[in-house]
Structure 1
């Protein structure tokens, strides 16, 4: 659903309003030097999120004029009112091969110390507001207001974070993502290592030929897991050789601990709440979810997705593709369990168990989302 409110997240946009802020949302701006005649501004129904105002402009005055004002939070390593998604460069600011003092790590350390268990009420509110801001920025991206290329056809790729770069399953996921992104689908993953890195890596190379992707896969397999000392170095060497990758999305979380930021995603929607992150990622993947081998977390995501399809939570039925006949068949029985649960419902036609890259891509292509 497209937004109906005016969101103002730059001073230029604010000044273009010419004092007419009725019903607008003004997000995270330093307004102290904006030169706005605040005593004349129409701000009935406006919402100010984390803004700084000039001296002489009191919150009480704005409230009396009909505005709602959420004050800034101080001394946090993150902005609860951020107007945009993260980028990999932003999260990795302060990182080097020799030392990790990245923003990503500093936010995690603050979260672990102050917010993960029994947070103070202000910490809890700041985290909820942050995750709401990420939701909002994600909607901007997917509805075409960020890259200007229209509403995105999102396909999610889910699976285990421990899958090594040297495994054939990793390479198969990357090839699937490469094909999908070349056909105009927007690849979204959980943003971590393993299957998730494979998905973003394949999408990153969509503007290159298959040989380029195969070179990257071969180059990176010498550091199969994120604990390897050369894990990040090899990824950076790939990016240095191919610096202009295709856009994709990572949706990670600080909840499970600190893992390396996914190097190959352009947009990062990182959450404190893992439940919001997982449910939201499945919700935006309206053109289907591809599941590769994983553990309990992947299994949980499978049945969350099935629940969304079963109850038509978002008025759409979309594909569920299990990539790996042995794993999702005899090894775990997950595919059969989902098919049995679907019964005669519509989404039963949207469940596939496949092995091959082309078979997987064909199923997504031939099963566009059904509006119900």
Structure 2
């Protein structure tokens, strides 16, 4: 089935006439486009497209599946592409005093809470969420096709002033410059550091990232430790950095992808990922993030969520669930052997398995980068 998400491709498909193959039309306004009121559309999908009543009626009676997107929710049931930060934070404007709470992201989170959180009472709501997440997965796989994705996982409570924050950013910057596509869970803390590093991989001056962290790090007096994302100016500081050190134009810049979830909506997504694959279903998001990180995962210090991800990734490697095993690098020897002694279990679990030589524990940023870059998935 052909996937069509722009009007030029749509016009070419219509011109094929009777021999055209089934197609999936994604989030297009077709109300002024001719060719959708005659002929057969058996096997075609129209996902969140704008249609006239005549078009919609004709399409459904000639074999098409039409999924409309009524204006009763703050999010679309289908997207043809991943979000951009500008879309996720639409409404936020520090210059006018409009804070995060008026953004698209915050509105969707409030709707998620009001309609039942993980267990919506209304079947149309649960279906719309699943359709949304399905389209995000499709768009995500389209985006990473041909890339070498590497993920960094770690705690959301890591503060910008912490030396580990800068360390993660340097690792991500080096990997981005070496041609790896950086992924993370898309939130604050270690996740934000990942995308900050990818952002500044575009800058020739390495001191620029040091200066940027100097802008990001100062917190309001009395702010609670480990909850920097709750500071009233957390996003404002990030936007100041974005404005002061802007990226090159799309197409000539190095990108990164954040993969957050509305399940943790009290933690806003970070502003430095250039593309955002945001999900309602955290289970789909977490398993999928580790599955697509086919060129390795770095585990920075974190708590229960990060520990879960370590063993989730180990299980994927252990059973080759998504193809050949890939590197697992634990950053912080003392943290992962003493504070949370995950390493001995991982070391024992991998004994005699194909991925044993792909797991590493280190305190050395350069070794992290070297281990990831040494890996060759395709020979």
CA distance in 1, matches of 2:232, 2:117: 28
**Could you list the runs of 5+ residues in structure 2 that have no partner in the other structure?**
220-225, 249-253
Residue aligned with 2:25, SS:
strand
Which residue, out of 201, 207, 212, partners 2:202? 207
How far residue 349 of structure 1 moved from its aligned partner, in angstroms, is 0.7
Residue aligned with 2:132, SS:
helix
Q: Return 199-208 or 222-231, whichever deviates more.
A: 222-231
CA distance in 1, matches of 2:378, 2:8: 41
CA distance in 1, matches of 2:62, 2:209: 58
Structure 1 residues 39 and 251: CA distance shift in structure 2, 3 A: same
Residue of structure 2 equivalent to 1:262: 270
Residue aligned with 1:192, SS:
coil
CA distance in 1, matches of 2:53, 2:275: 37
Within a 5 Å distance, the mapping from 1:27-106 to structure 2 comes to 27-40=26-39, 42-59=40-57, 61-97=58-94, 98=97, 99=99, 100-106=101-107
Residue aligned with 2:313, SS:
helix
CA distance in 2, matches of 1:290, 1:344: 22
What TM-score does the superposition give when structure 1 sets the normalisation length?
Answer: 0.92
CA distance in 2, matches of 1:233, 1:101: 14
Which residue, out of 351, 357, 360, partners 1:352? 360
Matched, 1:154 2:144: no
Residue of structure 2 equivalent to 1:177: 172
Question: Are 1:317 and 1:370, in contact at CA under 8 Å, matched by a contact in 2?
Answer: no
Within a 5 Å distance, the mapping from 1:1-372 to structure 2 comes to 5-20=1-16, 21-40=20-39, 42-59=40-57, 61-97=58-94, 98=97, 99=99, 100-119=101-120, 120-143=122-145, 151-208=146-203, 209-223=205-219, 225-244=228-247, 246-369=254-377
How far residue 258 of structure 1 moved from its aligned partner, in angstroms, is 2.7
Q: Deviations over 1:247-285 (max 9, x none)?
A: 111000000223223111100000000000000100110
CA distance in 2, matches of 1:81, 1:62: 19
Structure 1 residues 308 and 117: CA distance shift in structure 2, 3 A: closer
How far residue 214 of structure 1 moved from its aligned partner, in angstroms, is 1.6
What TM-score does the superposition give when structure 2 sets the normalisation length?
Answer: 0.90
Q: Deviations over 1:284-326 (max 9, x none)?
A: 1000000001010001111110010001011121000000000
Structure 1 residues 328 and 115: CA distance shift in structure 2, 3 A: same
How far residue 228 of structure 1 moved from its aligned partner, in angstroms, is 2.6
Question: Are 2:181 and 2:256, in contact at CA under 8 Å, matched by a contact in 1?
Answer: yes
How far residue 218 of structure 1 moved from its aligned partner, in angstroms, is 2.4
Residue aligned with 1:188, SS:
strand
CA distance in 1, matches of 2:13, 2:200: 41
Question: Are 1:94 and 1:103, in contact at CA under 8 Å, matched by a contact in 2?
Answer: yes
Residue aligned with 1:156, SS:
strand
Question: Are 1:319 and 1:369, in contact at CA under 8 Å, matched by a contact in 2?
Answer: no
Give the number of equivalent residue pairs: 358
CA distance in 1, matches of 2:235, 2:181: 24
Residue aligned with 2:126, SS:
helix
CA distance in 2, matches of 1:68, 1:244: 41
Q: Deviations over 1:147-187 (max 9, x none)?
A: xxxx1110000000000111111111011001101101010
How far residue 58 of structure 1 moved from its aligned partner, in angstroms, is 4.8
Over 4 Å off, 4+ runs: none
How far residue 81 of structure 1 moved from its aligned partner, in angstroms, is 1.0
Structure 1 residues 117 and 206: CA distance shift in structure 2, 3 A: closer
Q: Deviations over 1:13-67 (max 9, x none)?
A: 2112125453210112222221225213x422211112233343353x4344332
CA distance in 2, matches of 1:37, 1:317: 47
